[in-house]
Structure formats: structure tokens, C-alpha cells
Amino acid sequence: MPPGALMQVLRQFTDVSDKDLLVGVGDSDDAGVYRIAPDKAVILTIDFFPPIVDDPVTFGKVAAANALSDIYAMGGEPALAMNVVCFPEELPISVLNDILAGSMEKLKEAGVLVVGGHSITDKEVKFGLSLTGFVHPDKIITNAGAKAGDVLILTKPIGTGVVTSAMKSKKASKQESEAALKCMLTLNKAASSAMIALKGGVNACTDVTGFGLLGHAMEICRASSVGMTIEAEKVPLLPGAKLLISKKKFRPKNIKENMDFILPDISITSKLDEDLYTLLFDPQTSGGLLISVPGERAGLLLEALKVAGVEASSV
């Protein structure tokens, strides 16, 4: 759904008041957070979408990794999952079995239990998960704490939107496809753990998904009441992403929607390659964490991420 239209609808439902609702609809954050005890809060999120890859097992894995990211971005530990399934009568049930098997594999990797789900008959396959996680109420990481002088760190390259679009048309190379799949299948668990363990902590975090890098960066800006400078040349890109984005037929339609939502609030301070600029709006699936960390701790976080096997970049 276009981000502008979504925000317009959600504005009508932000007057929910409860002393234990720590993060709600009005916060435009990655998930809802509700305190259930002085030392424990529950994180609630849901995410589902149509297949972005042909192989059903891989689709299930990607969908699970993508859904888990909201909890990782908030510094939480995912615990329970429920499947959300839309499935056509015409397809063999073995396809659904493969999707669920792929999802289960990623959930086991994350230490998450599947406790149920819901399914409906639909013309198109859609799959995702409702997830529950936990976090200490004093240790929630939201998108609202960024401060002047912070450094932005991105934990995955961007470009999954345009590469998967080319994959659907069988126009992505083997190297391009494999790199995009590896990116999407990598859980943000290690990145989140490094972020949580950082002495002194970070100020804000979000995961980069459908609104693109600039869209989610803008959410941090608006929630934190700060401005932000992103050096486009430092943003890590998936192999082939820049070449594929130059071929307009592979550009996801969400790019224009993201541009319409963000452009009124950004400015370009130097000459920028058009294709690189466009990639900054590319909708991501199972994208990385975008972390706002005090400048004096940025080096420590980058080193911790490297030790954890996360190829992060300061942007």
C-alpha cells in the first residue's frame, strides 16, 4: 500500500491511550509494544505478502526472515509465531507444505515456536506471519531517539526490489540472484544482538523494508524531530542492482509511491547519479537494520557487527 495513503488512514486511529501501551499506532514504528510486567513487555507485529521468488520453500524462508526483522529492530527477542495464509484452490497443497516448511526452518533458526495460524482461499498465494516477542520496557529501541551528531549504520545492501523483479522475468544473472537471496535469507538476529550488546546503547533503529532506505530513514527523522544526511555513494548495493534499475522495466511500482511520499521532505546537496538515487527508494524485502548511534560509539558498533559476521556500512 502506498505509504502516503497508509499514513492518511492511520492518522484517524492514533488516539489510543493506555499507560502500558509503550509503542502504538501513532508512533509509526516497526511493531506495537505493550508492558505486561515491570520488567517485561510484549512486542506484536504482522507481515505477509505475495511470492517474490518462484521456489515455495525459499518464499517461506524469506517471508519468515522479513517478519522477524520488526522485533529484531526494536531490540526484542522473538518467541511465538502464527501463520497467515492465502491460498488458491487450483494449486496443489504440496506448494503450501513447501512454503510452511521453508518458514519453519527460519523460525527454528530464530528459536521461535509456531503456535497456530489462519488460512483463507484466495486467487493469489500470500503468506506471512504474526509474531510475538519480548523486551524489557526500559530497553526498547524505537525509531524516535535519533540525535544530532549520530552516525547511521546500515547492516545489509539495498536492491532486493529491483533484483527480484528481474528474477521474475528471468533476467537476473545467477550471481545477482544468489546475492539477493542470501541477503533476504539472512536473519537480522546477529545484527540486533550486536546492537543490544553495545555499551552505552544506540539511539534509534528501524528495519529497511517496503518504504525503501530513504522512506525508513525519513520515519526516523520525523519520529526523532531531526534532520539526516545520507551519503549515497557509501550505501552498499547488491550486485547488479544499479544496472538493473537503469532498465526501467524492472523498477518496482512502489518506487514511485515511495518517491511521492518522501520527495517533499528531502534535498539533494550534490550531483547524484540518477540510478543510484532511484535505488534509495527501492522497496526492500527482509532488508537490513538502519541504526542511529552516537558518533563516539559508531566505530565500536561497526567492529562488533564485523565480529558477528555482519557486513555493515556507515552511510
Cα end-to-end span (Å), the chain: 27
| pLDDT tens-digit series, residues 166-188 | 999 999 999 999 999 999 999 99
Question: Quick one: pLDDT at residue 267?
Answer: 84
Task: With a cut of 90, say whether residue 11 has pLDDT above it.
Answer: no
For residue 1, pLDDT over 60 is answered with: no
**Residue the block writes with cell 536473519:** 187
Q: At what angle do helices 56-73 and 93-110 cross, to 10 degrees?
A: 30
Domain ranges of the chain: 9-139, 150-314
Q: Is the pTM of this model over 0.85?
A: yes
**Coil/strand/helix, residue 35:** strand
- φ, ψ dihedrals at 218, nearest 5°: -65, -35
Grid coordinates representing 35 are 508492558
Q: Where is pLDDT greater, at 19 or 76?
A: 76
Q: With a cut of 80, say whether residue 30 has pLDDT above it.
A: no
Above 70 in pLDDT, residue 284? yes
Mean pLDDT of 279-289: 97
pLDDT for 17: 75
pLDDT(265) > 60: yes
What is the sign of the dihedral through the CA atoms of 217, 28, 60 and 114? positive
User: Which range has the top average pLDDT, 169-173, 183-187, 220-224, 265-269?
Assistant: 183-187
| Contact call for residues 177 and 170 (beta carbons, < 8 A) | no
Q: How far apart are CA 147 and CA 204, in angstroms?
A: 9
* CATH class held by domain 9-139: alpha beta
- Could you give the percent of the chain with pLDDT greater than 70? 94
- The domain defined by 150-314 folds into Phosphoribosyl-aminoimidazole Synthetase; Chain A, domain 2 (3.90.650)
pLDDT, tens digit, 9 for 90 and up, residues 104-145: 999 999 999 999 999 999 999 999 999 999 999 999 999 999
Per-residue pLDDT reduced to its tens digit, 226-255: 999 999 999 999 999 999 999 889 999 889
Report the pLDDT averaged over residues 283-304: 97
Q: Nine-digit cell at 145? A: 531517539
Segment 150-176 mean pLDDT: 96
What pLDDT score does 24 carry? 82
**Percentage, residues of the chain above pLDDT 90:** 83
Query: What is the sign, positive or negative, of the torsion defined by CA atoms of 145, 148, 150, 151?
Result: positive
Average pLDDT, the chain: 93
Residue-level pLDDT at 12: 58
The CA distance from 273 to 280, in Å, is: 11
Mean pLDDT calculated for residue range 70-76: 97
Nearest to 224 by CA among 200, 196, 202, 204: 204
